């Protein structure tokens, strides 16, 4: 697949692009924080929620000496270009108290929003890689995404196949997601 410039938004004929966003956190009332993150993303109309997974309690990844995370995935339609959507997501993280300059890698955080896929485009730049290839190795992304888009293909891999390769022990679907 050819690489697409990350500053190009959906064309007028396309109107909107579909994007996958993973959300998570493990500091504070995370379920309310995730709901607020979604509301903030969608507040100006350039991002529209199409589907939201349940919330899942997941073991920490990378640095295991911290509280469990709560993770979810959303499908959105957006008129923003990939880089503009990423900037919006990072602004939402900051609004919710995330300070990337003070946190440790894979450490505790109030909110973590990752752009997983943007209309199936391939982008490879130092600060933006799509699709998010590490997502295929992370059950905390694939399990919630599989709930809302079980037939989706990410980086040429069907989600069902990716899920079959992952250790999903310790992942618990939480009832009554705050929406």
Residues with catalytic roles = 98, 109, 112, 114
- CA dist., res. 81 & res. 69, Å (int): 29
Contact 111, 23 (CB under 8 A): yes
- CA dist., res. 30 & res. 71, Å (int): 9
- What kind and span of H or E run contains 72? strand 69-78
Contacts of 113 (CB under 8 A, 6+ apart): 21, 22, 23, 37, 41, 89, 90, 92, 93
């Amino acid at each position: 697949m050819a690489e697409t410039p990350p500053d190009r938004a959906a064309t007028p004929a396309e109107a909107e692009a579909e994007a996958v966003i993973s959300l998570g956190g493990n500091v504070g009332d995370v379920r309310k924080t995730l709901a607020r993150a979604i509301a903030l993303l969608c507040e100006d109309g350039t991002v529209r929620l199409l589907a939201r997974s349940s919330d899942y309690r997941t073991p920490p990844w990378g640095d295991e000496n911290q509280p469990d995370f709560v993770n979810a995935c959303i499908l959105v339609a957006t008129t923003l270009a990939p880089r503009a959507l990423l900037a919006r997501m990072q602004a939402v993280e900051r609004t919710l108290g995330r300070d990337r300059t003070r946190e440790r890698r894979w450490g505790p955080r109030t909110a973590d929003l990752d752009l997983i896929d943007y209309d199936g485009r391939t982008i490879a730049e130092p600060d933006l890689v799509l699709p998010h290839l590490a997502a295929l190795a992370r059950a905390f992304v694939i399990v919630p995404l599989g709930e809302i888009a079980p037939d989706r293909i990410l980086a040429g891999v069907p989600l069902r196949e990716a899920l079959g390769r992952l250790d999903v022990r310790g992942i618990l679907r939480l009832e009554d997601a705050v929406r």
